């Protein structure tokens, strides 16, 4: 198999995927689904701030307007806003004044202000939402098209895919008819596996026309999952973000139904040979519901599995601070730390398996749906 042909078409599918994912991600940000939050800290009798495991976990798996590395070290990201009556505003998230996870503010014009709501916003606000006010305190409409942590991760993953596949395709062009080497030697078994053991058995003779999308979806999910497991670079949770998985599931839904042949739609809408009352009242509604349930299950499975893995690892990290009481009980902290570290190492290896497994399962189910849509009638 020549990798180059599949690679070029896969990159084109990848570019389409980027645009759609970013559109849905920005839309979800507009409604404040994610973001860094701020907390109202309460001190104990000794003046220490108690460790809040829920806030710690939420801040790592949620989207944000900056990338948190460690301690107070953050990498600011671009803020792109359209403010009612003021046009577009471009600046870095570091322009907001404030520390930690609290509400952050900055001046807007001469008398107005912008507020980036934190972890515990006032009633009616969402963590990570940006609100604008004029000099009289009137709220202005804001369209938030910022490059958040998840969007930055999307750009990073898609850039990596473009570089890797372009490099592999060029290696085939330089050495036509010869055994692959280097990166192409690593990628070819995965691509052959997806073609011969996933696409062709599931779809049949038309499998090659769906390969660009299946390759794109597999490697996008795989690289996104692996990026989320790299420690100390901000805790990316791309495929654990609903805005991303909704797009992936929607693409599968659209391709399946636009590719559906007469037999596929006939089975859903009419089902010859079945009594009309049963067909109209029971089977047809069930089949129509299943058309929408299939991508919904894809979305929920991927989001839940990836997010759950991050939560488990972070929860065992939190045990060290909970039992150690933020340094007041070092013996207990060290004791539970040994156990937590051992379990986290185990979970990391398990998450590496899950990263491949979820990419494989999503791709396999998508291929099965495509094959069902293109299946010919059996006589």
Least confident range from 9-13, 219-223, 285-289: namely 9-13
**If we measure between CA atoms, which residue out of 7, 46, 16, 22 comes closest to residue 243?**
22
134 pLDDT exceeds 50?
yes
Place of tokens 């029971």: 282
More confident residue, 14 or 53: 53
Residue 100: pLDDT band by 50, 70, 90 thresholds? low
pTM of the shown model: 0.80
**pLDDT score of 199:** 94
DSSP character at residue 2: -
**pLDDT score of 23:** 46
pLDDT in tens, 144-166: 889 988 889 999 999 999 998 88
Structural tokens at position 215? 């390759």
More confident residue, 81 or 273: 81
Q: Which spans in 195-261 are helix H?
A: 200-203, 207-227, 242-259
**If we measure between CA atoms, which residue out of 373, 377, 355, 356 comes closest to residue 295?**
373
Q: How far apart are CA 292 and CA 296, in angstroms?
A: 7
| Residue 17 CB neighbours (<10 A) | 21
DSSP character at residue 238: G
pLDDT in tens, 238-266: 898 888 899 999 999 999 999 988 888 88
Q: What is the mean pLDDT of residues 167-178?
A: 82
CB 101 within 8 A of CB 94: no
Q: How far apart are CA 248 and CA 54, in angstroms?
A: 29
**pLDDT score of 333:** 56
More confident residue, 25 or 234: 234
**Could you tell me the residue ranges of all domains in the chain?**
3-24+150-374, 35-147
CB 207 within 8 A of CB 199: yes
More confident residue, 60 or 226: 226
């Amino acid at each position: 198999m020549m990798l180059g042909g599949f690679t070029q078409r896969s990159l084109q599918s990848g570019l389409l995927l980027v645009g759609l994912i970013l559109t849905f991600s920005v839309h979800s940000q507009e409604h404040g689904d994610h973001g860094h939050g701020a907390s109202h800290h309460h001190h104990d009798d000794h003046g220490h701030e108690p460790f809040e495991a829920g806030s710690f976990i939420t801040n790592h798996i949620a989207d944000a307007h900056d990338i948190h590395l460690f301690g107070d070290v953050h990498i600011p990201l671009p803020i792109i806003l359209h403010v009612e009556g003021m046009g577009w505003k471009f600046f870095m998230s570091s322009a907001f004044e404030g520390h930690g996870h609290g509400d952050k503010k900055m001046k807007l014009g001469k008398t107005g202000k912008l507020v980036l709501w934190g972890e515990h916003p006032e009633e009616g606000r969402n963590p990570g939402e940006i609100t604008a006010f004029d000099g009289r305190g009137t709220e202005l409409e804001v369209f938030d098209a910022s490059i958040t942590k998840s969007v930055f991760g999307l750009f990073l993953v898609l850039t990596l895919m473009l570089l890797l596949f372009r490099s592999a395709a060029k290696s085939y062009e330089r050495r036509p008819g010869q055994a692959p080497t280097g990166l192409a030697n690593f990628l070819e078994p995965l691509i052959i596996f997806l073609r011969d053991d996933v696409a062709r058995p599931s779809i049949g003779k038309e499998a090659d026309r769906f390969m660009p999308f299946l390759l794109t979806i597999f490697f996008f999910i795989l690289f996104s999952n692996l990026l989320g497991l790299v420690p100390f670079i901000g805790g990316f949770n791309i495929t654990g973000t609903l805005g991303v998985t909704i797009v992936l599931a929607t693409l599968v839904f659209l391709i399946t139904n636009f590719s559906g042949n007469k037999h596929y739609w006939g089975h859903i809408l009419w089902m010859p040979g079945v009594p009309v009352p049963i067909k109209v009242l029971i089977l047809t509604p069930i089949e129509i519901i299943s058309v929408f349930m299939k991508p919904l299950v894809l979305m929920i499975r991927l989001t839940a599995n990836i997010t759950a893995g991050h939560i488990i690892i972070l929860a065992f990290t939190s045990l060290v601070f909970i039992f150690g009481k933020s340094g007041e009980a070092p013996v207990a902290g060290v004791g539970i730390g040994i156990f937590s570290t051992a379990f986290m190492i185990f979970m990391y290896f398990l998450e590496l398996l899950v990263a491949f497994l979820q990419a494989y399962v999503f791709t396999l189910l998508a291929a099965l749906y495509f094959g069902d849509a293109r299946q010919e009638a059996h006589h």
